[in-house]
Structure 1
Amino acid sequence: MARFSAADLEAARSRTIDDVLPGPDDPPLRVLFCGINPGLVSAATGHHFGRPGNRFWPVLHGSGFTPRLLLPAEQDELRGLGLGITNMVARASARADELSAEEIVAGGVRLRELVLTTRPAWLAVVGITAYRTAFAAPKAGVGPQDERIGPTRVWVLPNPSGLNAHWQLPDMVEEFGRLRAAAPGS
């Protein structure tokens, strides 16, 4: 992976990352993973969960969503597996706690619209605090939620960022695996 200077990372604050969504020749969207927002390394590379310490890709593979460990640059391979990625907030930042509650709430509105358009079987929000804010659900926990967006069910997953010390890799793999078992076509 390329090393980025402080100037490169600062310049990445103005970038966004395109959603990874299936095209017309891809299988139906089983799970749409929603990150909080792109980190600066992700914005610099244009790849979701692009920072080397982020555990998303190892957890996705370890839980059985992917047949092999994908690199962030291979994110488009998710389309063929009925998987997609978006972000709650498009703005890149060094840390998610740089986002305002208003940005997260607005991102939740945009996310609901995207889900109604793309109609995944499951929306998987990766980050409990962002979910609680965006969906006005202050007592929500990790796991399946009662809320639906149209026909789409909602599951909250732990944030795989290396900054999230509350969840260890095996525990994340187990939780992602619970969602995989519930998702159609698993």
Structure 2
Amino acid sequence: MAPARTPGGTRPSRADLEAARGATLPDLLGPGLRLLICGINPSLWAAATQAHFARPGNRFWPALHDAGLTGHLVDCSAGMSDADREHVVGRGLGITNLVRRATARADELDPAEFVTGLERLAGLVAERRPAVVAVAGVTAYRHAFAEPRAALGRQERELAGAQLWVLPSPSGLNAHASRAGLAAAFAEAGRAAGVLPPDPGSPLGAGRARPPRP
């Protein structure tokens, strides 16, 4: 596993990034989990800093802040502070990945890795019991769930009793999704999970928040 970096310290060097290839990144989880966001796999930057979605240019944290899911803009490009970890999990959010090993690009992964990752994800959801699981990346979802025609949004199926959503990938390489579009998608999943209040004006958001699971 790549060593964690001190939050607020220096960003990883090229050598640090190469050393992080194949490394893993622990899940970010806490009590009271409501919305579990599932990324594709860690970037080299995320593995080097041991912080989810840490690579500069990734729009994950800006989109979460714009959606109202975090109270401030999290910057973990040089590592995630304990205060930010507590803030994120304290708002009922959690982060995991379908595939645990770090790569420079998601297209370096084998489709079989997504299937194996789904088995782990299902076990995690059964154990932690979030209201909503949101997979951030439709292509990864299609590989893992063997649903080649899956579209963005709430899925008909559930995962271990949790609502299952597919959100756009926040990667800077995803030119199909704007920051505003990402924020809207994350906000909708947040409302469904009960992290954000329901939006009466949205037929998708209204009435979908669930009570905490026992």
Q: How high is the TM-score relative to the length of structure 1? A: 0.93
Which residue in the other structure is 1:19 paired with? 27
Pairing 1:68–2:72 present: yes
Q: CA deviation at 1:166?
A: 0.8
Q: What residue is the counterpart of 1:162 in the other structure?
A: 172
CA contact (8 A) 1:55 1:161 kept: yes
**Distance in 1 between residues matched to 2:85 and 2:106, nearest whole Å:** 21
> 1 or 2, which has the higher helix percentage?
1
More off after superposition, 60-69 vs 3-12: 3-12
| Other structure's SS at 1:105 match | helix
Q: Which runs of 5+ in 1 are unaligned?
A: none
Map residues 86-165 of structure 1 onto 2, 5 A cutoff.
86-165=96-175
Please give the alpha-carbon distance, in whole angstroms, between the structure 2 residues aligned to 1:170 and 1:185.
Answer: 19
CA distance in 1 between counterparts of 2:85 and 2:151 reads 28
Aligned length: 182
Structure 1 counterpart of 2:62, one-letter code: P
Q: Does 1:51 align with 2:33?
A: no
Report the equivalent of 2:46. 42
Aligned 8 A contact 1:47 1:75 in 2? no
1:7 maps to 2:15: yes
Q: How many angstroms apart in 2 are the aligned matches of 1:88 and 1:151?
A: 18
Cα distance in 1, alignment partners of residues 24 and 87 from structure 2: 20
Distance between the aligned counterparts of 2:175 and 2:125, measured in 1?
30
Letter in 2 for 1:19: D
Of stretches 120-129 and 175-184 in structure 1, the one that deviates more from structure 2 is 175-184
8 Å contact kept, 1:48–1:75: no
Q: CA RMSD in A?
A: 1.3
TM-score of the pair, normalised by structure 2: 0.81
1:20 and 1:76 in contact (8 A); partners too: no
CA shift digits 1:115-152 (9 cap, x unpaired): 11111000010000000110111111110001112320
Show structure 1 runs of 4+ deviating over 4 A: none
The one-character-per-residue Cα deviations of 1:16-47 (angstroms, maximum 9, x if unpaired) are 1110111xxx4x21100000000000000000
